Amino acid sequence: MNITFIFFLGLFIALIGVIPPGLLNMTAAKISLKDGHGRGIIFSIGVCAIVAVQTYIASIFARYLSNHPEVIDVLQRVAFVIFVLITVYFLFVAKATTKQQITPKIRSKHSRFFQGMFLSSINVFPIPYQAYMTITLASFGWLNFEQISIISYVAGAATGTFVMLYMYIFFFDKIKSRAFTSQRNMNYIIGGITGVISVFTLINIIKEL
């Protein structure tokens, strides 16, 4: 298995997971505006350190699930329904109810690196997200659970997370000044991505029937 290909798979999957505005990327942008780009980047590195650990845990969990196909079948069907609902929401519902994003106030005087680690550690979404995605990638033969492959995927996931946080840091002013338009376009992007994932998941379910 080509570890470079696996690295970029991890990078792409992580990019998708961090696209929606949330606590981590909005906090990174806020810190950059308040304290400078340097501290925003330090915060992002702290976030990525925890994301790497979470992705590794998710990969180990996925490896366990790969030995229990009956569990994977159930998870795939549940995930398919969830992704379809998310797609419908972002394409048809969210665009009519979008409100301006409120950015969190930063009061911590501690190191931005450890602040990034703390906020990332309380955000447990990457674990189930990455567990499902690694299982899906493995089912298509694009990923295996050898140690070198897992390490390569984890490195890609951490890099992808950093790239998206970096984009939020340096383009936040433009997003903020055009909040409605940017958010609407982002909803379409997210809905399109989850729609594609839904199709792939459905194909995989049909193949196993």
Q: Give the model's pLDDT for residue 182.
A: 52
What is 37-96 written as a DSSP string? HHHHHHHHHHHHHHHHHHHHHHHHHHHHHHT-HHHHHHHHHHHHHHHHHHHHIIIIIHHH
Q: Give the model's pLDDT for residue 95.
A: 53
Asked whether the beta carbons of 126 and 58 are under 8 A apart, the reply is yes
Q: Give the model's pLDDT for residue 56.
A: 93
Q: Give the model's pLDDT for residue 104.
A: 46
Q: Give the model's pLDDT for residue 162.
A: 94
For the chain, residues with pLDDT lower than 50 are 96-104, 106-109, 179-181
pTM of the complete model: 0.68
> What is the C-alpha to C-alpha distance for residues 168 and 172, in angstroms, rounded to an integer?
5
pLDDT in tens, 18-34: 877 677 887 888 888 78
Q: Give the model's pLDDT for residue 109.
A: 42
Q: Give the model's pLDDT for residue 45.
A: 93
Q: Give the model's pLDDT for residue 57.
A: 92
Q: Give the model's pLDDT for residue 97.
A: 47
Closest CA to 86 of 195, 172, 177: 195
